Amino acid sequence: MNIVVCVKYVPDATADRRFESDNTVDRVGVDGLLSELDEYAVEQALQIKEKAGDETTVTVLTVGPEKAVDAVRKALQMGADQGVHVVDEAIAGSDAVATSLVLAKAVEKAGAESPVDLVVCGMASTDGAMSVVPAMLAERLDLPQVTFASVIETQGDQVRIKRDGDTATEVIGGTMPLVLSVTDQTGEARYPSFKGIMAAKKKPLQTWSLAELGVEADQVGLSVAWSVVEETSARPPRTAGEIVTDEDGSGAKALTEFLAAKKFI
């Protein structure tokens, strides 16, 4: 089986995050990492491989700036077999439409010798969080999609997932090849072991440009994005809270009045 996992390199949410002067996210001058939600996708791909046997290859694929290769490396350390990093200056500022185009062309190239059976994605990136790339990818690859899986079962080329909605849980089945996206309910992602970290250094990691994928520079980037961020402003600093003291027994009344004024009670 040939599995491709799409992983995104995102700014670290716990570190300082900034915008560029064109209002795109600064992905170069900040600390970044493999999107936490994509760790679940890597984990599920590895579990599917473990069940299917050694004939299965897990390729991790990222589209992003130079530093995005760190996301691929982390997935290799977790146990993926090989990595692909699509990097090209023209990609900067791409929207989900353009990102899905580049990913689709890369999946096609990854499957040139042995067709891809399964494309695994996270449920959303932790920066853009649009949750649209997997569906766009399926459309571009002309594949069925089973998305937002909380439980995944595979048997041969059959895939069954549970998809939790607000009012019901659906069980959806599909036949490979297909695109699968997984949620954070699928189970903890494994940590890279020391052995995994050492082994990852020797795993194949390819870098592809847009030209190698047959994508023109004017098909991607901010200039052809369907939407633009016109303005950004920093969140106002948190103000100090109101402290209710209870030196003379009036604290409960003051607290109740405060909550009532804010319509909390």
Ligand X SMILES: Cc1cc2nc3c(=O)[nH]c(=O)nc-3n(C[C@H](O)[C@H](O)[C@H](O)COP(=O)(O)OP(=O)(O)OC[C@H]3O[C@@H](n4cnc5c(N)ncnc54)[C@H](O)[C@@H]3O)c2cc1C
Binding region for ligand X (CB under 6 A): 6-8, 23-25, 35, 37-38, 41, 61-64, 94-96, 99, 103, 121-122, 124-125, 127-134, 225-229
CB of 252 to ligand X, least distance (A): 44
Would you say 230 or 247 has its CB closer to ligand X?
A: 230
Would you say 164 or 257 has its CB closer to ligand X?
A: 164
Q: Using CB atoms, what's the residue nearest to ligand X?
A: 128
Burial class (CB in 10 A: 0-12, 13-18, 19+), 264: exposed
Would you say 6 or 178 has its CB closer to ligand X?
A: 6
For residue 144, cis peptide bond before it (omega within 30 degrees of 0): no
Would you say 167 or 233 has its CB closer to ligand X?
A: 233
Cα 18 to chain centroid, rounded: 19
Q: How far apart are CA 41 and CA 243, in angstroms?
A: 45
228 torsion bin: left (phi>0), alpha (psi -120 to 50), beta (else): beta
Would you say 203 or 244 has its CB closer to ligand X?
A: 203
CB of 170 to ligand X, least distance (A): 20
174 strand-pairing partners: 159
Of 163, 146, 161, 190, nearest in space to 40 by CA:
190
DSSP assignment of 99-116 equals HHHHHHHHHHHHTSSS--
Whole-Å CA distances, 234 to 14, 15, 16, 187, 254: 16, 15, 12, 35, 33
CB of 92 to ligand X, least distance (A): 10
CB of 99 to ligand X, least distance (A): 4
CB of 167 to ligand X, least distance (A): 23
Would you say 111 or 244 has its CB closer to ligand X?
A: 111
159 strand-pairing partners: 154, 174
**To which residue do tokens 């849980």 refer?**
169
Q: How far apart are CA 43 and CA 53, in angstroms?
A: 15
CB of 254 to ligand X, least distance (A): 41
CB of 102 to ligand X, least distance (A): 8
Would you say 31 or 246 has its CB closer to ligand X?
A: 31
